[in-house]
Amino acid sequence: MTDSIRELTILQPDDWHIHLRDDKALATTVPHAAESFNRVICMPNLVPPVKNVDDAQAYRARIMQHLEISNLSAERKASFDPRMTLYLTDHTTAQDIELAAKSGIVQAVKLYPAGATTNSADGVTDINACVNVFEALEKYNLPLLLHGEVTHDHVDIFDREKRFLDEVMVQIIAKFPTMKIVMEHITTSDAADFVLSQGNQIAATITPQHLMFNRNHLLLGGIKPHFYCLPILKRESHQKVLLDVATSGNPKFFLGTDSAPHATDKKEAACGCAGCYSAATALPLYATAFDSVGKIDRLEGFTSRFGAQFYGLPVNESTVTLVNAPMQIPTNYPYFDGSSLTPLMAGETLPWSIKG
């Protein structure tokens, strides 16, 4: 622990990877995200997906409607800026990319390998068929966000990220060396090393759960459904490397919660949904992770500077203050249609909290 730092004021963070879901879910997820973050990159894997600029504009309008009727302060409402992503499919065109780049609201394009995660059935089945789209992304300097896993049934779930790096990433970078790419929610030392070995056009987001936990937390003593996410938690050795790079001050690594809400009964089921919900408590979670290795002083770069710099956006001017005072994470939040939402580390106490 960093005993000398009891209070830390940092620039307001942004979340460069979040799932807000849609419709009634937005009444919960939007206020939680807007409490802590200014800009958030909203994932497009809705049903149906956000495939073009018209879809993105309509989705953003629904988000803003829920922001306006929330109980947030006028300052928080004014600061919140949902940035949209398009869902890359086998049918996305170069014109879709051009329109997105010129829209003013689309920040990136997301590639899900078909079947990789929640609502990814419309994802890409053949990377080699995306040449025109990748050329357009390079041309308009629009980043490609990658869920970096192969999805072949015969590949072990713990090896899927490494196989993606070896079989897919190398191909993409060789053919499109100037395309900006974010490896989303990296989970392995292999991914961290890969990002470090590349130029400044390659970056990565890291979630709080992959900094704080490993597969023992998920599996030891029985399966813990609220630790189940995709990409799945890996060995402790991988977790330690992620902590090393996240707290290193290297601008290639920045905050992306991958906060993914699923109703509690959908998580605690025979076939539980993948995803950890952390939007409302992300900053204390990250502060706890950084302080666990004595690097709380490196938090601002990771949460508030490096992502904006990568995306070519100004850093925020507002601030938030974290204090070394305990906070208990709620056991659940009310969700839509009478359901509940169980957050990551529900009911547990963290050593850091947000002042005020």
Active site residue 258: yes
102 is in an annotated binding site: no
DSSP type of residue 351: S
258 is an annotated ligand-binding site residue: yes
CA 209, CA 230: separation in Å to the nearest integer?
Answer: 11
Is 230 annotated as contributing to ligand binding?
yes
Flag whether 234 is marked binding.
Answer: no
Cα–Cα distance, 190 to 237 (Å, whole number): 11
Say whether 274 counts as a known binding-site residue. Answer: yes
CA angle 54, 207, 215 (to 5 degrees): 125
Write the DSSP assignment of 220-273 as a string of letters. Answer: TTS--GGG--SSPP--HHHHHHHHHHHTTT-TTEEE---B---BHHHHSSTTPP
Q: Is 78 annotated as belonging to a binding site? A: no
- Whether 66 has a binding-site annotation, put simply, is no
- The answer to the question of whether 110 is labelled as a binding residue is yes
Euclidean distance between CA atoms 214 and 199, whole angstroms: 29
The answer to whether the annotation marks 20 as part of a ligand binding site is: yes
Spell out a b/e string for 314-344, using b for 16 or more CB atoms within 10 Å of the CB, else e.
eebeeebebbbeebebeeebebeeebebbbb
Candidates 15, 258, 297, 337; catalytic one:
258
Is residue 45 marked as binding?
Answer: yes
Residues in the annotated binding site for substrate: 19-21, 45, 147, 230, 262, 274
Could you list the active site residues?
Answer: 258
Residues in the annotated binding site: 17, 19-21, 45, 110, 147, 185, 230, 258, 262, 274
Residues in the annotated binding site for Zn(2+): 17, 19, 110, 147, 185, 258
